[in-house]
Chains A and B, each alone.
Chain A
Amino acid sequence: MSKRAQSWGFDLLIGASIFLTGVLFFYVYVYSLSGGQVSKLDTFTNDGNKVANALLSSGSPENWNEGNVQKIGILSDGKINDTKLQEFYSFSISNYEKTKVLFNVNFDYYISFNDPIDAGNGQVLGIGREPVNPENLIKVTRVVIYNEKPETLNVIIWE
């Protein structure tokens, strides 16, 4: 009687182990199939939205500069403020990493419009680090008033 009971328990353990192993194997498979990519895409997208949302605000304080900035924003009255845009450009040149910190992003960013940006002392194509052989890259597109007309703001997040 006692042996029969032992064999029942043993068989059950083996069957259950095989079942659980199969389920575990499935989830590992699914995760390896897409899970890692989704996570990275989310991260990139989140970073892109963080940058875009920050930029499409008036920033903090309202008239921020590199010395007192808490949040980088380049709008005033719903439009791109050239002064803030130039300040942001200067800031990104002088302390790019700090801008990333302020944007709270892990990856590199690059901001551009359809038209070149007036950086104060000349025109530039974009602000931030231009992608060079990126391994991953996403682009978040927003529409904003720039130079008194609706324009596309492109935020590129890359690594």
Chain B
Amino acid sequence: MDGYYAFMLVAATLVLMMTVPALALFYGGMSRSKSVLNMMMMSFGALAVVAIVYVLWGWSMSYSAGAGDDVAGLFANPFTLFGLDDVDPGSYVFVAFQMTFAVITAALISGAVADRVRFSSWMVFVPLWVTLSYFPLAHMVWGGGFLSPLNENGLSAILFGFEDGLAKVVPQDYAGGTVVHINAGVAGLVLVLLIGRRLGFGKEPMKPHNLTLTMIGAGLLWFGWFGFNVGSIVFVEGDGGEKDIAQFMSETGVTWINTTIATSAAMLAWLLVEKIRDGKGTSLGAASGIVAGLVAITPACGAVDVYGAIAIGAAAGALCALAVGLKYRFGYDDSLDVVGVHLVGGIVGTVMIGFVSSGSAPGGIDGLLYGGGAEPLVVQVLTALVAIAWSAVATLAVGLLIKATLGWRITDEDEAEGIDFVEHGESAYDLGTGGGARRSSVLQGSTASEGARA
């Protein structure tokens, strides 16, 4: 299984790239030119702080599995493996892989609160949030906790029974529809409601300032997502024998293909909605459709056949394209549509598994439309609801704590001036003056600043 080990090193590195630079570019291009650096710094900052927190207590709180480590199926003892104490270096690659998941989940939230949050508050929020929301959910779903099929007191086991060490109806979340996307989407929504809208939301134009960055980011996210989804394989035997090798050789191709065709279907569906509704398919629609499809196929890439993957992708692309407009109707400023894409896409993927899960896929479970009855659907819906509830409560607790202590918002004046300069003392672009190198810099500089103030 040395090939598997090498593959996992690559997969972990690919997922790291999804946060920095892929997500930073995707979000950065969508924000305004006066706040692109702050937007990108929220991803870079999340990476640095979560990486350290993860080796200190994150891995332990998610996956320590000694006697008495599990606390009510909700999280594991954060101190058992603190600082990777007693973790065999041969397992570090799995710590690395899971670390990158925690990193990107925290970074995803930043898109909801663009342009207006103090950088120091964000840097305090992130480690608290992963501790209260991400590590417990990772433990619940993948670490043998309440939402895991391996827990005899788990949700599915309570409802439909447990035999031979496995829930009779196995809840399916291959790579993080609940843990990553529903979790980040709910957190984004709660924070937006807590800290409020940007100045001028719904009145002033807040267009994406550079869609080429967004297109590059979306492409890199897709590329990195192969590490995310394909690398999430879990072996049935786990002894490195013939069966594991056979599983590796067949399952990775399935998850790769499902990831790709669902994403393609989602991009087409998003563009089709735009073509019908607005008359034109947009590049931002293509980039957004890619991410919506990737989000939705994340839990399902090992659960469905090719038709299921296409159906999930198409549904996610169309529904997310419609859902991103809801913020204007309800007046919440989810700035870069973390709710509309990650929460909605995560729910679409997680719930549709109940309909289109296929016995011929690696997960081996027939959903409602494949003759498997309603039980898988019930399990998927309830799993999503538990994830939503947990994330909402945990985010609200951390969000209120920050609000009462550090405070979330920069001042109105600073927000109008632009968060890049106010929080970081920099401007992303110096096109008018060419960095001060051109002779005409004096004239062009003063013209540009007057224009920006007007």
The answer to whether A and B assemble together is no
Interface residues of chain A, those whose CB is within 8 Å of chain B, are none
Interface residues of chain B, those whose CB is within 8 Å of chain A, are none
